[in-house]
A and B are shown apart, each in its own frame.
Chain A
Amino acid sequence: MSETQRSSQQHTNHAQHHVPPPNPSPQQVTGDIIGRLRAASGLYRTWVLFLALLFVGGVGGFIWRASGGFADRTAWGYYAAMVMYIFTTFQAAPICAVATRLVKAHWRRPMARAAELCAIVGVFNFFLFLPLLWLIPPLKGRTSLWFDWPLGAPYLFDVLAMGGLALLGLALVWTSALPDFAAARDTLPERRGLYARLSFGWLGTKRRWLVHEWAVIVLGALYLASYVMTSTILSTEFSMSLVPGWRSSVYPAYHTITGLQNGIATTLVILLVLRTVGGYRQYVGLEQFWGLAKLLLALSLLWFYFWWSDFIVHWYGRTPREQNIMLLLMFGPYQIAFFIAWLCSFLIPFICLATNRIRVSVLGPPIVALSPLIGSFFDRIRLYVSAFSIEDPFHHELTQVPPTHLPDGADVLLVVGGVAGAILVYLLATRIVPVLSHWEMQEGILLRAVRPLLRMPALVIGKPR
């Protein structure tokens, strides 16, 4: 190839790089998204079976653990860590959809449903959460978010917070998917009965669309507020208030931020699965991975910032109380868990995502996203297992740091089974609810055009309101 030809080829390649991909036709979108609800693939069935087996193992682990009773709180530490891990991954993921919808980010469209569908796991996690209520000691004589509140605290409020979040999540998914159910009703005759009931007589009148848009935004905002509140309550209830002398006002915010970070990471992994084996290669592309990678980078920095805000005040305070708390949570029996959490939740995602070539790619962000998902798992262990290992939460200060509590067979079964159950619920939900938001994708086609700008084609995005 001559120099001129090479240069011309390079110029063409560069120009093509800037050409936005063409819009798929509305019929194609309906076929790809709604049509996929018809039948499950063999791979899907294999995974469902595998996860179901793991979940059954988890049930076995629960029975094993419960046979020892609820008196020994230490034995339930890993179970609590697992429940809070699901809370800070699956139940946080819908916030990706909510936040990007609130700011009207156009790139959210192929990602929004995949993220908000995770809210369904909240119902499953609510049932996993209930046994933890038996492990909370009475309020009298210990520090608590509820002080000495007489009416139902803490049990009633914990149930209301977790149950309310699960219900809100269900409402959000159902409301958001209403037009998609109607599309499925009109497209899939073999499942018409189910989708007719789910779509609640949706006909797509102008008034209905306006109410729908308003409801999705309001329910999303309520879900976000409810998540922050529930995270604040549960993190205080099941870790900080069980450790005498642990007083950190930033801790609930730290817990919430880690949840948001994991929510993004979970969404990234789901998107990779949808792209590679889900058959949505045409819809889930660089724009979504890049957008979420920027958010993950920001959240990884915030992870460090909130941890540092906590650490530096304790480090400078240096009272015996603070030294023991630092020993328990960071530099003592759970130092390995803390170190892995620090590395995986902050350092690895920060370094990787600060690199342009990794951040601006399809494979880079979801692979990096596995790091905070691992880091967060160890973070939950250092926070919850350590708190559950305190024998006497009624002391004023922590005077003796308990040794490391290592998992036994029941713990392994419980944790693996719990996480497998959460993924299983998500997979089952995708058989009923389209995993890509059909109406948002169709709206995106209407509001997207390619126009010439100077000598280049440019992407034009409609901003209706």
Chain B
Amino acid sequence: MRERKVLSDSLINDELLRFPLHTPTWFWFAAGFLGLFILAFISAIGIMVVFGLGVTGLNKPVMWGWMITNFVFWVGISHAGVMISAILRLSQAEWRRPVTRAAEVLTVFSLATAALFPLIHTGRPWRAILWVFPYDFARGIWPSVRSPLIWDPSAIFTYLTGSTLFVYVALLPDLAVARDRTTGWRHAFYSALALGFRGTPRQWKLQTIAGILLSALILPVFVSVHSIVSWDFAVALVPVWHGTVFAPYFVIGAVHSGVSAVATMMAVLRWVFRLENYITPDHFDALGRLLVTVGTAWLYFFFLDVVFALFSQEAEEVIVMQQRLFEWPWNFLTVMLLVTAYVIPVPLWLSRRVRRSITAMFFTSLLVNVGMWTERYWIIVPGLMKKYDFSYSWDQFTPSLIEITLVVGSFAIVFFGLLLFAKIFPIIPIFEQKEGQIFAEEIEVGRARVPAVIRE
């Protein structure tokens, strides 16, 4: 890390606890503004429940549209936390320190939001209980465990539980700091959550071991979640869905969108909470370099998916691929997703100046997620539109106002969750920052002084 700032422990405490302990006026406006969209989201669900799925743009044969696209998108974003936090922690990347918690929290809220969509999509959400419990004990009609629709909730809730634990374990020392600097109900609140953490050597050891164990254990869950989501599609014999590359392609796409979302969020956090001492251009530089690799890997899998759909030269595959590549509006979406998810941002990130510019990183990472949302839509809908060869039951999909409200509302839910979390807990890990200060060293090489780190 080049831009190392020497910060005292008390300054770190003051700056990182400023927002949780003092409420600026803008917080209420922001919360109220996001609350309006959440209200619209709830209303849209209400309308859908009362009037049925007919109020959406879904039809026969396009039974999966924006809601499932949005589900896949948010599951993808949820891959930010583990990618940034677990992998960088295990690989002892020093630049991870200020980024980890925000990424983990983004994981939790995006995953919880994603989990809403398949439920809403049923039209009768209360019947979702029948996915888990038998329809009829007497006749022994059980949900099929061989269905990916059963794997989905299992994977998502395992990941959600793991991610929440991951956030909580890393939060413990900071909760203790907050407890020791508050009075009244806040003190009681943080005391209860801190679980008696006093910073004894044994407690630190346990906290560190728990963090490393959770990092290692959550990695397979992280991979399995989006793989299972991909198998929702791939195990069906729908043209352009039935591809063996779907699992790694979805996972790498999720990492691409998740890490990009972290870059976007870090820029916003730096601007909103004035965290210049903690989130520096170095962090964006590192994120940018990571994204060049991840983005290029995503392009490779995209290429495999497209080329090997055509490889067999089977009529169904060729027809859908022709539609995607040459027919309006899919040809536009193809160009758009490639340009926004790769062609613009990745070559720009090759430039160190761009990677170190926070504004440029904000916009380019945002662009990636525009592309990734489009990509999910581009994957899901065309295969369904021409699914039935002999029935000629072909149709287009156009989202209704209800679906647009649900998608916009989902963004509001995630932003609201992040805002609320940052209001209650330090969004940058205090203990990690202090540890980073201890580990920061310098080495003399000839006449130069080179930044160095103590190996953990």
Contact = CB atoms under 8 A, between A and B. Distances in A.
Contact of A461 (B234, B248, B453): B453
A253 interface: yes
B423 interface: no
Contact of B455 (A251, A252, A308, A460): A460
A451 to B, nearest CB: 6
B281 to A, nearest CB: 14
Contacts of B237: 317, 319
Given A249-B309, A309-B245, A458 B455 contact: yes
Interface in B158-175: none
Interface size class of B (residues with CB under 8 A): 35 or more
A251 B312 CA distance: 14
Contacts of B27: none
B155 to A, nearest CB: 14
B243 A313 contact: yes
Interface in A142-173: 143-145, 147
A447 B445 contact: yes
Interface stretch (B16-24, B272-280, B300-308, B319-327): B300-308
Contacts of A447: 443, 445, 450, 452
Contacts of A103: 91
Nearest to B2: A465
B391 interface: no
Interface string B416-454: 000000000000000000000010010101000011111
B235 interface: yes
A431 B60 CA distance: 70
B71 interface: no
Interface in A436-465: 446-447, 449, 451, 453, 458-465
Contacts of B452: 447, 449, 460-463
B305 A305 contact: no
Nearest to A287: B455
Give the interface centre of B237, B245, B310 by most chain A CB atoms within 10 Å. Answer: B245
Interface string A301-328: 1000110111011101101000000000
A248 interface: yes
A301 B220 CA distance: 9
A248 B453 contact: no
Contacts of A310: 244
A460 B234 contact: no
Contacts of A145: 307, 311
A145 B307 CA distance: 8
A453 B307 contact: no
Interface residues of A, number: 42
A309 B301 CA distance: 13
B244 A309 contact: yes
B304 A253 contact: yes
Contacts of A309: 227, 244-248
A464 B451 CA distance: 6
Nearest to A309: B247
Given A143-B312, A143-B313, A248-B244, A451 B305 contact: no
Contact of A249 (B2, B243, B313, B445): B243
Give the interface centre of A241, A310, A449 by most chain B CB atoms within 10 Å. Answer: A449
A251 B246 CA distance: 12
A200 B359 CA distance: 44
A453 B454 contact: yes
B223 interface: yes
B37 interface: no
A460 B311 contact: no
Nearest to A310: B244
Contacts of B301: 253
A53 interface: no
Given A458-B455, A460-B453, A306 B248 contact: yes
Contacts of A308: 247
A95 to B, nearest CB: 13
Interface string A208-249: 000000000000000001001000100000000100010111
A250 interface: yes
Contacts of A143: 311-313
Contacts of B308: 247-249
Given A253-B245, A313-B235, A314-B244, A449 B310 contact: no
A247 B312 contact: yes
A309 B308 CA distance: 15
B443 A460 contact: yes
B242 interface: yes
Contact of B248 (A305, A312, A462): A305
B136 to A, nearest CB: 26
Give the interface centre of A251, A313, A314 by most chain B CB atoms within 10 Å. Answer: A313
B373 interface: no
A462 B451 contact: yes
Interface in B301-350: 301, 304-305, 307-313
Contacts of A446: 443, 445
Contacts of B450: 447, 462-464
A459 B445 contact: no
Contact of B247 (A225, A232, A305): A305
Interface in B206-253: 220, 223, 227, 231, 234-235, 237, 242-248
Contacts of B130: none
A453 B438 CA distance: 9
Contacts of A301: 220
Contacts of B220: 301
Nearest to B231: A312
Given A228-B300, A313-B246, A458 B454 contact: yes
B88 to A, nearest CB: 11
Contacts of B245: 248-250, 253, 309
Nearest to A248: B244
Given A143-B313, A249-B245, A251-B244, A317 B223 contact: no
Contact of B244 (A144, A249, A451, A464): A249
B454 A459 contact: yes
Contacts of B451: 462-464
A461 B247 contact: no
Nearest to B304: A249
Contacts of A453: 438, 454
A306 B310 CA distance: 21
B1 interface: yes
A464 B307 CA distance: 42
A108 to B, nearest CB: 13
B353 to A, nearest CB: 15
Contacts of A241: 311
A252 B438 CA distance: 46
A341 B290 CA distance: 32
Give the interface centre of A252, A301, A319 by most chain B CB atoms within 10 Å. Answer: A252
Nearest to A443: B445
Contacts of B227: 305, 309
A463 B235 CA distance: 47
Contacts of B454: 451, 453, 458-460
Given A309-B247, A460-B453, A463-B453, A247 B311 contact: yes
Contact of A462 (B244, B296, B438, B443): B443
Give the interface centre of B243, B310, B443 by most chain A CB atoms within 10 Å. Answer: B443
Given A228-B300, A251-B244, A313-B243, 13 more contacts: A249-B308, A313-B235, A446-B443, A447-B450, A451-B441, A451-B454, A460-B453, A461-B452, A461-B455, A462-B452, A463-B94, A463-B450, A463-B451
In the A-B complex, list the 5 residue pairs whose CB atoms are closest, starting with the nearest.
A249-B308, A249-B245, A316-B235, A250-B244, A309-B247
Interface of B: 1-2, 91, 94, 220, 223, 227, 231, 234-235, 237, 242-248, 296, 300-301, 304-305, 307-313, 438, 441, 443, 445, 450-455
Interface of A: 103, 143-145, 147, 225, 228, 232, 241, 245, 247-253, 301, 305-306, 308-310, 312-314, 316-317, 319, 446-447, 449, 451, 453, 458-465
6 contacts: A143-B311, A446-B443, A460-B443, A462-B452, A464-B450, A464-B451
